[in-house]
Amino acid sequence: MLRARLQRLLCVGAVIVAGLALRGFGYDLGLPFSVVKYGGSLLWGCMVFLLVAAAIVSRRVAIMAAIALAIAVSVEFSRLYQTPALDEFRLTLAGKLLLGRVFSLWNIVAYAAGIGLGMAIEMRLRFLDRNQ
C-alpha cells in the first residue's frame, strides 16, 4: 500500500512539473493559448485524480474518478463565490494555480479529460503492480 501511494505521489509531482512548465514556457514555445490554458486545466484534473488515488489506493477506479470530478467541479464552482480575502488570494500564484480566477464550463471539460488521463495512469500502475 505504501509503495502504491508513493508511486501515485511521484506521478503527482511529475504532473505538477509538467503543468508548471506548460504554464511557464508554453507561450515561449509558440503553443497556442488554448493549449496552454486548457492543457494546464487538463493536468490539474489529472493531479486531482492522482491525489485521490494516492489517498484511497484500494478503491475502484470509477469511484476515485467520481470523487476527483466532484472535487474539480466544486473548485470550479467556488469561483462564483466572491469575498475580498478570497479574491485577494486568487490573485497570488498559489491562488491562481489552486483555485483559478474565472469560472468556465470549458475548464470542467478539461478537468474531466485530465481525470481520464489520471485513470489511464492508474490502470497502467495497477497493471505494472500485478505483473511484478
Note the pLDDT of residue 100: 81
Rounded to whole angstroms, how far apart are CA atoms 59 and 116? 16
Cell of 40: 494546464
Cell of 86: 478570497
Are 114 and 38 within 8 A, CB to CB? Answer: no
Is 22's pLDDT higher than 90? Answer: yes
What is the pLDDT averaged over residues 60-76? Answer: 95
Mean residue pLDDT across the chain: 92
Q: Where are the domains of the chain?
A: 2-130
Note the pLDDT of residue 58: 74
* pTM of the predicted model over 0.85: yes
Note the pLDDT of residue 109: 97
**In sequence order, what are the residues at sequence separation of 6 or more whose Cβ sits closer than 8 angstroms to the Cβ of residue 16?**
47
Note the pLDDT of residue 119: 96
Rounded to whole angstroms, how far apart are CA atoms 116 and 83? 33
- Residue showing cell 464550463: 105
